[in-house]
């Protein structure tokens, strides 16, 4: 017998397990340009969960997170009715989520670079002249967006974010997001990875703003090898950029159903996800719960 999720998103399925707790299960589904592809990336959900658990510990002191446990032994009985849950699931506290995406950019790339090239701005704010693609910004910038239920998120100004959540909460969201990004980016850089930008999901738990959902993962962030970064070019990435690049090259209109992703693109993406986790955390992915090792056993995981 299996149970149906309370909510199913692009990547995660969420189950209400009572007592103010949720079980969030990360699938291997891959999305880009707000579309979910039919072909999964093997073990991606486990990488996202392992990475989030790592960062939840690293960011302690900046803000609480909603994470309670990742050890399957700590899960409620309902977890036994969910297929392949080990290593993919987080037991979390329920939060009242903010209706904005809390994006932080440390480098100018992606949609921000496109806007700068055409208008000299980022989210409507004028930037210094002469910046090149992938340039490091003078300081990290909080660039919120809407959280679209359907379709594409829309970049908004900080003032518009204030209108959506209130002045004080918007200021606190910016403070938490910038602090979390700065600490994470510094930690990653020590391990040879540039975090160019990232997206945080924040929510209110017991009256306090908390970091929720995934944290500084290859799905929510853009990771570059530090030794290959230089202004003026887009570095290779540790995230799902192989899927983005391939999709861009197909001529797909990004509105219709996505074309099938080739196996080599899926494998290249998996390798980058795993490499990002291992390089940043210093931990072996094979030791995470549910991961098959070369001996055919299952990883027992880390608390």
The single-letter DSSP state of residue 194 is E
CA 152 to CA 131: how far, in whole Å? 27
For the chain, how many residues are written? Answer: 303
- For 221-248, the pLDDT digits (tens) are 999 999 999 999 989 888 888 898 899 9
Which helix (H) or strand (E) segment holds residue 277: the answer is: helix 263-281
What's the whole-number mean pLDDT along residues 50-62? 97
What are the residue boundaries of the structural domains of the chain, listed by start? 97-249
Residue 301 has pLDDT above 60, yes or no: no
Instruction: Indicate the angle between helix axes 263-281 and 241-250, nearest 10 degrees.
Output: 150
- For 116-174, the pLDDT digits (tens) are 999 999 988 899 999 999 999 999 999 999 987 666 788 899 999 999 999 999 999 99
As a whole number, the mean pLDDT across the chain is: 93
- Neighbour tally for 235: CB within 10 Å: 21
What pLDDT score does 149 carry? 66
Q: Into which CATH architecture does domain 97-249 fall?
A: 2-Layer Sandwich (3.30)
In the numeric block, which tokens belong to residue 189?
Answer: 């850089």
């Amino acid at each position: 017998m299996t149970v149906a999720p309370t909510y199913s998103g692009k990547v995660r399925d969420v189950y209400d397990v009572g007592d103010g707790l949720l079980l969030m299960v990360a699938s291997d589904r891959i999305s880009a340009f707000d579309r979910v592809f039919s072909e999964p990336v093997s073990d991606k959900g486990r990488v996202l969960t392992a990475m989030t658990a790592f960062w939840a510990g690293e960011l302690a002191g900046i803000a609480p997170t909603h994470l309670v446990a990742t050890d399957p032994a700590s899960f409620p009985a309902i977890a036994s009715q969910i297929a392949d849950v080990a290593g993919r699931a987080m037991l979390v506290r329920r939060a009242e989520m903010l209706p904005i995406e809390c994006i932080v950019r440390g480098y100018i790339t992606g949609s921000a670079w496109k806007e700068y090239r055409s208008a000299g701005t980022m989210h409507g704010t004028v930037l210094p002249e002469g910046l090149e693609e992938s340039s490091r910004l003078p300081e990290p910038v909080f660039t919120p967006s809407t959280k679209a239920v359907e379709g594409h998120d829309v970049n908004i100004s900080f003032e518009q974010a204030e209108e959506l959540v209130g002045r004080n909460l918007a200021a606190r969201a910016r403070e938490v997001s910038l602090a979390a990004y700065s600490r994470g980016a510094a930690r990653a850089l020590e391990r040879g990875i540039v975090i160019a930008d990232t997206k945080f999901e924040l929510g209110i738990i017991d009256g306090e703003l908390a970091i929720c959902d995934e944290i500084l993962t290859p799905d929510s962030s853009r990771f570059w090898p530090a030794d290959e970064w230089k202004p003026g070019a887009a570095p290779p990435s540790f995230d799902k950029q192989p899927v983005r690049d391939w999709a861009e090259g197909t001529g797909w209109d990004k509105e219709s159903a996505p074309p099938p992703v080739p196996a080599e693109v899926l494998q290249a993406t998996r390798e980058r996800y795993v490499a990002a986790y291992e390089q940043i955390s210093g931990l072996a992915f094979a030791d995470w719960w549910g991961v098959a090792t070369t001996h055919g056993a299952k990883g027992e995981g880390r608390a």
